[in-house]
Structure 1
Amino acid sequence: MAFSKRSIFRESAIQKYLRRQEQGVLLRVISPPAFLLLWIVVVFFLGAIGLTWLVELPISLTGQGIIMEQNQQGDSKIVAALFFSPDQQGQLHRGQPVNLNVGSTANGLTGSIASVETQKISPEEARQRFNLQGALVQVVTGPSIVAFVDIKSASSTRIYVGSVCAAQVRIGSQRVLSLLPGFNQFLKG
């Protein structure tokens, strides 16, 4: 019996079969609703990153001080003498906003830095210069830089003269994104 070299398949059918084999087969890994949900999650994640890029948190220095009355040329005004460590002197500048909390109450006073002294003072020097006695002695425990704050006047401000206050001086702000590990280096460089 003689075998013929003719194929039982048509030439066009073979070509069509070979072309189909060359085409990539796309697998359907996830269903369309899951794919849509995945895109929604990605958009939400990118929106959250964008929001953390835009939102800024204030950076502040904290210090303690006393509220006192300052007499200048027959005019008296209420100021706060705040004590900061000497290494914070470069961050304190005239005009920076200050929030003051007097004693253990939530009474808040506001003002701005009027001046920052350049010379360090010792605790003993601070006690003599500002007449610190009793509980006020504990305000200054080491060498300090003094910053004077003009307190925005209110009718009840005079009752706080001689009181200890805690201060927060706003020195700047930082993006929320910089608080996440690794992003701080990305934002600086």
Structure 2
Amino acid sequence: MLIPNHPIFRQNAVKHYMQSREKDTLPRFISLPIALFLWGLLGLLLVVGLLAWYEQIPTYATGQGAVLSPRYMSHYAQQGAVAAAFFAIDQAKYLHVGQRVAVSFTSSSDNSLKGTVLAVDAAVSPDSALSHYGLSSTSALSITQPSVVVIIKLDAVSPSLYAGSTLTANVQVGSRRIISLLPGIGSFWGEENT
């Protein structure tokens, strides 16, 4: 019996077999849909992080006060309705003439007005604020420490209609990055950007 000199396997089949053995095959730990979901989640996290880094929100100085009656606003009589708001002394460096003010009255939550800072006066004690600005006892209760007085011109308000009404004044004094609101991160990038 003659033994043929031809190999049993074709040359291409042997070559293909050897190449497949040389390839590294990695184990598959997670399925394809889960991998795609995790990549999408990472992308979403990056987008939210960028928005929190670049977007800014306003910061406000808040003070309590009252609308002045006509007899106590002799310097500002031609301005229309004028209010005096009392802010903490440490906020004085952020308050300037011409800033816009959002005013809401404590008697009604839906009555909100806009105004402009006319003057920033020196710090006054609670007793001198009571006598100098003619505040009612209710308005004077909100002043518990020496305060900076901000005179506010109220837009489109009759002085006699709101005279003596207590109010809350919010003055936008700057802005800060959203990311600075996260605990521990705010100290790295500073608290305020005025």
Query: Does residue 171 of structure 1 match 2:173?
Result: yes
1:149-183 CA-to-partner distances (Å, cap 9, x unmatched) read: 111124x5541111111111111121221111333
Structure 1 residues 28 and 102, CA gap change in structure 2 (3 angstroms): same
Maintained 8 Å contact 2:100/2:171: yes
How far has the Cα of 1:25 moved from its partner?
3.8
Does the residue aligned with 1:47 lie in a helix, a strand or coil?
helix
Partner residue of 1:94?
97
Does the residue aligned with 1:49 lie in a helix, a strand or coil?
helix
The whole-number CA distance in structure 2 between the counterparts of 1:108 and 1:90 is: 26
Flag structure 1 segments of 5+ consecutive residues without an equivalent. Answer: 1-12
Partner residue of 1:42?
42
The whole-number CA distance in structure 2 between the counterparts of 1:88 and 1:74 is: 27
1:37-186 map, 5 Å: 37-68=37-68, 69=70, 70-72=73-75, 75=78, 77-106=80-109, 107-117=111-121, 119-154=122-157, 156=158, 158-186=160-188
Does the residue aligned with 2:80 lie in a helix, a strand or coil?
strand
Maintained 8 Å contact 1:80/1:151: yes
Flag structure 2 segments of 5+ consecutive residues without an equivalent. Answer: 1-13
Does the residue aligned with 1:120 lie in a helix, a strand or coil?
strand
Maintained 8 Å contact 2:102/2:113: yes
The whole-number CA distance in structure 2 between the counterparts of 1:57 and 1:162 is: 33
Structure 1 residues 136 and 184, CA gap change in structure 2 (3 angstroms): closer
Opposite residue 30 of structure 2, the aligned amino acid is I
Structure 1 residues 153 and 134, CA gap change in structure 2 (3 angstroms): same
1:31-88 CA-to-partner distances (Å, cap 9, x unmatched) read: 2222211111111111221222243222111111111243458735211111112222
Does the residue aligned with 1:75 lie in a helix, a strand or coil?
helix
TM-score (norm 2): 0.75
1:133-152 CA-to-partner distances (Å, cap 9, x unmatched) read: 33233132221111111111
Query: Does residue 28 of structure 1 match 2:31?
Result: no
Query: Does residue 187 of structure 1 match 2:189?
Result: yes
Partner residue of 1:4?
none
Maintained 8 Å contact 2:64/2:168: yes
Structure 1 residues 134 and 31, CA gap change in structure 2 (3 angstroms): closer
Maintained 8 Å contact 1:139/1:164: no
